[in-house]
Amino acid sequence: MLSRTSIVDQLKADTVAFSSVIQIGDSTYVHGFTRALAVQRETDTFLGNEGNFLSFKAFTISVPLVPIEEVISMQTMHLNPAIKVNNIDINGISTSSVVHIGSSKHISMEARVKHIRQLLQHE
């Protein structure tokens, strides 16, 4: 893992919601995942059988992960052993988002949202 130190004098987050995380410190794995159904209707009608993610293809198909086959040559030189930030001011962190201060080895994030619009038939 990287050997630099992250220094933040002040962190202010107004809202952290829906499985979101503020991670302070190094981590080996960060995995964020969320699923959401967004149904928009012209009338307030609730059928009672809503919310079955498995009935929508968007939630059941696998995400293709294309392997990186390029040869990457990288040389780094950390002249300063620390990354310093005075202030971080965040309005909101939502829906399995991650604010991470520190080093990470592996990061994987996935969001799946199905938008459904159900409009009345007008003659």
Identify the domain containing residue 119 by its residue range.
1-50+82-123
Count Cα neighbours of 1 within 13 Å in the Cβ-side half-sphere: 13
- Residue 37 located in a structural domain: yes
Express each pLDDT in 77-111 by its tens digit. Answer: 878 889 899 999 999 998 888 999 998 889 988 98
Query: Which percentage of the chain shows pLDDT scores above 70?
Result: 98
- What is the per-residue pLDDT for 122? 79
- Residue 90 located in a structural domain: yes
What contacts 30, CB < 8 A, 6 or more positions away? Answer: 23, 98, 100, 104, 106, 107, 108, 109
Q: Is the pLDDT of residue 70 over 90?
A: yes
Asked if 7 and 86 count as a contact pair (C-beta separation under 8 A), the reply is no
Q: Is the pLDDT of residue 11 over 80?
A: yes
- Residue 7 located in a structural domain: yes
